[in-house]
Amino acid sequence: MPNLTINGRNMSVEAAGDTPLLWVIREQLQMTGTKFGCGAGLCGACTIHLNGEAVRSCQTSVTEAVGKKITTIEGLSAKGDHPLQKAWIVEQVPQCGYCQSGQIMQAAALLSRNSNPTRDEVVAHMDGNLCRCMTYSRIQKAIMRAASEMRTASNAGTERRPT
Amino acid sequence: MNSHVKITSRGPADLSRRSFLVGSAATGLVLGYAAVPGLDQAFAAPSNFEPSTWYSIAPDGIVTVTCGKADMGQHIASTMAQMVAEELGANWKDMRVQLASNDPKFNDPVLGAQITGGSWSTMMNFDAMSRAGAAGRIALTDAAAAAMGVPAAELVVRDSVISHPKSKKSMSFADIVKSGKATKTFTPDELKAIKLKTPDQYTLIGVSVPQLDIPSKTNGTAKYGIDVMLPGMVYGRVVTPPVRFGATVKSVDDSAAKKVPGFIKTVVLDDKTGSTSGWVVAVANNYASAKKAADALNIAYDNGPNAKLSSESLLSEAKRLQALDDSGQFFVKDGDTAAAFGTATKVMEAEYTTNINIHAPLEPMNAAAEFKGDILHIYSGNQFATRTGQIAAGAAGIDPKYVVMHQMWLGGGFGRRLDADMMIPAVQAAKAVGKPVKIIYSRENDMTMDYSRPLTYQKVKAGLDADGKLIALNHDVVSAWPTARWGIPDFLTPSVDKKGPLDSFTVNGADFFYTVPNHQVRAIKNEMAHNATPSGQLRSVAPGWTFWAVESMIDEIAHASGKDPALFRIELLDGKGKNDGGAQRLRNTLLAAMGLAGYGTGKLPKGEGMGVACVSSQERASASWTACVAHVAVAPSGEVKVKKLTVATDVGMQVHPDNIRAQVEGAALWGLSLAMYEKATLKDGGIEQTNFDTYTPLRMSQMPEVAVNVIANGDKPTGVGEPAVTVIAPALGNAIFNACGARLRALPITAEAVKAGMKA
């Protein structure tokens, strides 16, 4: 039985090694925030983090995930208050909401390494994530808002810290 | 099929049919309409005897509104709560929502059924929710007056608190509910007589309050149909045949599937509802095993009567039907077009087509079914609970009154979830294995078995007099009939030539607000397409194709008579006769869009153009007046870059301004996606596109600037989810013509067609 580390917890799962991680997370562990959209890596609804990188969990096998740090939308922040989640609420991004876990996880990977992306960088990074309700402009706005807040927070943090 | 489903009424809200109850219960104050006995027997689920409820107030003051509409991202649950809260006088922070079951007591007060579509929900529930809210406020106020010993007329209700300014006494809703003293009941006449607030008194309507469902959609906690988990539940994976419809299973060899660990059973569907054909379900104890088992099945099919059909055959059949004088039925027949064409100095003809389009909501179709005692429980996000419960009953072979549907959030609907095909495999697999079963379509199942927007063929013939005035228009619309497929007579419309009912959801929009003295619209059912590609209602339905034809043709006529296409439209929108009122609103909306886009105010660079279109979608009686100015740049290769879409829409009243903007922007981008990026094709009876690599909705990088402008003139609120879809394609086509001279008549628009048009 493979052992997986999901959202900081070690979990033993009953699944063949070639099982897509998506189905283990959703149906076996019942963490249903990660969504199934296409099963082919074409829509981004199933995006999670593997060692901090955004990956499509429908295209990632259990074997590939063993020994790596898996993060899902449920584990992105302690109280649903990641700057992106807060910005998603301020900008009232979701319509049906089904793609939004994947959108947020995809965006979080970008902001973790670049908290000052240009609009073009955001589009290039997010283009693999479909939103059938077409909330794209609000997604962009929310990412820019979150990036700005993360920069402010980290600047404030620096100022407070005596060096 | 499904003729046992009957919609009781499509007439205007008749509140006299219902009595209004306000009663107190130990657990809280329950407010709602109770159906008059007998009213709902057509759909009755008499096993449910709970009190009818639109909302309740708990002893802690929390107001929970039960939404009878499917919420697929239009935030209608939140909007219902907003309409209730306005008249109730509740603090928005106290409002919660829950989704209704299929109990008939939650039927739409106007439609008499649980169905979500047509951009109808706000307009048809505004009065009912407002009166429900007001009645609650009156009941609470009376109780507060008695408790405080002051006249009710001196009380002020605000933010869930009832106060008496003179004595400075106050009670919260929670205090009053806890007292158990709110007991006033309303007769239908009293309910009707309640004086509702006037718009100047609104404190919540017109305010962009935070949508109640949004936080749950940022942290993974919102539960969609696909997220349902039932104790002891197993999984079914559907295997669908190579043809869209008409196949039968000859044999199934599941010897290889039996070797898959966790495999339980193969179930060949026996579908007497006509929703599916030739489907097989592999059931296993987890989804991955069900998939492996499904992949291992060896199924022999008889592909049936549609196996040789293609998009080309559907189109040539449509042309054949249109050429017949006696085909179809008339939706509009004003004046005498034949005589008018005889006197016309110029006659123009054009053909417009649209291809098959797939809904492809991001949440693939799914359903879970569980038999518990006599009751069949079904779990899904569905737009037509009334009919879906009947279909599930049909699949189970039981009386519909024993079906309870548990509504979930919808991961996109767009009309796809009006249908109930997903119930068949869930119910029959659950019955076969004696356990709860969750069915999840693969994306490939979802796309190839979509109840698609049908392929359409339209021919328009126009006659002009010597002054270039449009005096005659013949408009033939040939398509599969999506709504006729439901088999619900009340959803069909009598033809004006008394040749039997027609599916007005294939011709709505063709009955436009232009004044054309001789005008006829013929609805022609393409039986071949109807059988081979069972069609559905796709966001905006008929106006998505009728306005493509009408608004392109109007442009062609304007150019032919040397007039500015926008000004030509304004002349036609003279508001004479039956067009009075609507025509003027549409004219004003068009003028607004023109002004906001700077239409005609400057010279554009070579290769660029602006085009206009204006529409009265969805239906003539429920129009939101919508206009668009599209600005495009066309490269010599025929490549079209959409620079900007300026949309104006007259929605009467804004309940939630920010949501209207979100919906209109989404609708406009849907219009763009359908116009330029989405195309499905039929070959050998099957849909060729199976996933998002070949069926390609608009992505972020393809999004142009969209400027949404809302006109709220204080009239009744109209729908906003769909109308803007329909205005985009013709505005784009007209802009492309103005940019490079290529006239497009087929959707989707391709660079090849634009380039070919430029050469011509």
Instruction: Identify the pLDDT of residue A157.
Output: 61
Band (pLDDT 50/70/90 cuts) for residue A160 is low
- pLDDT confidence of residue B683: 98
Q: Enumerate residue ranges in chain B where pLDDT < 50.
A: 1-52
CB contact under 8 A, B214 and A123: no
Q: How many CB atoms lie within 10 A of CB A18?
A: 11
A90 CB-near residues (< 8 Å, 6+ apart): A142, A145
CA distance B449 to B534: 9
Is A80 within 8 Å of B219 when comparing Cβ atoms? yes
Q: Which residues of A touch B669 (CB under 8 A)?
A: 134, 136
pLDDT of residue B495: 96
Q: Return the CA Rg of chain A.
A: 16
- A-interface mutation test, from B69, B74, B219, most A Cβ less than 10 A away: B219
Asked if residues B173 and B94 have their Cβ atoms less than 8 Å apart, the reply is: yes
| pLDDT tens string A9-55 | 999 999 999 999 999 999 999 999 999 999 999 999 999 999 999 99
Q: Which one of B218, B360, B701 has the shortest CB-CB distance to A100? A: B218
Lookup: tokens for B254: 């599941």
- Reported as a single tens digit per residue, the pLDDT across B39-48 is 233 332 222 2
pLDDT of residue B511: 98
- DSSP string across B519-555: EEEEEEE-HHHHHHS-B---TT-THHHHHHHHHHHHH
Minimum CA–CA partner of A95 in chain B = B73
Q: What angle do CA B675, B681, B683 make, to 5 degrees?
A: 170
Q: What is the pLDDT of residue B609?
A: 98
pLDDT for the residue numbered B5: 32
Token pair recorded at residue B317: 């059949």
The reported pLDDT for the residue numbered B714 is 85
Token reading at B388: 């879906």
For testing contact with chain B, the best of A95, A100, A127, A138 (most B CBs within 10 A) = A95
Quick check: B649 and B723 in contact, CB under 8 A?
A: yes
> Per the structure block, which two tokens stand in for B577?
């006769």
Sort strands B63-67 and B95-99 into parallel, antiparallel or unpaired: parallel
**What interface predicted TM-score (ipTM) does this complex get?**
0.96
Measured in angstroms, the CA of A149 and the nearest CA of chain B are apart by 17
Give pLDDT, residue B32.
36
Phi, psi at B63, each rounded to 5°: -100, 115
pLDDT, tens only, B252-292:
999 999 999 999 999 999 999 999 999 999 999 999 999 99
The mean of the pLDDT values for chain B is 91
DSSP B392-443: HHHHHTS-GGGEEEEE-B-S--TTGGG--TTHHHHHHHHHHHTS-EEEE--H
* pLDDT at residue B552, as a whole number: 98
Cα dihedral sign, B570-B576-B579-B580: positive
Does any CB of chain B come closer than 8 Å to the CB of residue A41?
Answer: no
Tell me what percent of the residues of chain A surpass a pLDDT of 70. Answer: 96
DSSP B58: -
Strand order in the sheet with B18-25: B18-25, B28-35, B55-57, B63-67, B95-99
Mean of all residue pLDDT scores within chain A: 95
The predicted-structure confidence for A78-129, as pLDDT tens digits, reads as follows 999 999 999 999 999 999 999 999 999 999 999 999 999 999 999 999 999 9
Q: How far is CA B49 from CA B21, B63, B68, B678, in A?
A: 15, 22, 17, 47
> Is the minimum CB–CB distance between B694 and chain A shorter than 8 Å?
no
